[in-house]
């Protein structure tokens, strides 16, 4: 909803989010295996499985246009973590009105297409 309501505020596009969502469940990468970081460290997933972030960084470096938002407008200055104090200019708030919500067609329609040929 936030990327739809504030399209110029996010550096990466919906394809980036869809890849994260898909691979969070694909088990191709160890990034989201187990319930927490301590278990991933204990099981040594980083040594045994590839990282989703490394994969996405590689795509971003070789084909930056594929995952970035062409409408992104970076902030004029980036506050340092020590001096950060949220003000109205630093925080974007979701619009919570019913009419402001939008169906995420790219996510849900792809799931529907996968199952459209299955018999009920």
Residue pLDDT, tens place only, 13-24 = 999 999 999 999
Q: 11 forms bridges with which residues in the sheet?
A: none
Domain contains 120? no
Domain contains 85? no
Domain contains 80? no
- Whether residue 112 is predicted with pLDDT greater than 50 in this model: the reply is yes
Domain contains 89? no
How many domains is the chain partitioned into structurally? 1
Q: What is the pLDDT of residue 120?
A: 41
Domain contains 63? yes
pLDDT band at 34 (very low <50, low <70, confident <90, very high): very high
Structural domain range at position 8: 2-74+94-115
Q: What is the pTM of this model?
A: 0.74
Domain contains 26? yes
Q: Which residues of 5-34 are buried (b: 16+ CB within 10 A; e: fewer)?
A: eeeeebebbbebbebeeebeeeeebbbeee
Domain contains 58? yes
pLDDT band at 102 (very low <50, low <70, confident <90, very high): confident
Q: What is the mean pLDDT of residues 70-78?
A: 83
């Amino acid at each position: 909803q936030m990327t739809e309501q504030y399209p110029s505020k996010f550096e990466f596009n919906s394809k980036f989010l869809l890849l994260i969502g898909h691979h969070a469940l694909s088990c191709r990468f160890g990034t989201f295996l187990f319930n927490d970081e301590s278990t991933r460290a204990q099981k040594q997933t980083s040594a045994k499985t590839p990282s989703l972030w490394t994969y996405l960084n590689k795509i971003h470096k070789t084909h930056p246009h594929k995952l970035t938002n062409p409408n992104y407008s970076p902030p004029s200055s980036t506050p340092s973590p020590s001096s950060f104090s949220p003000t109205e200019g630093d925080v974007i708030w979701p619009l919570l009105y019913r009419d402001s919500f939008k169906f995420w067609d790219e996510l849900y329609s792809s799931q529907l297409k996968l199952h459209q040929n299955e018999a009920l």
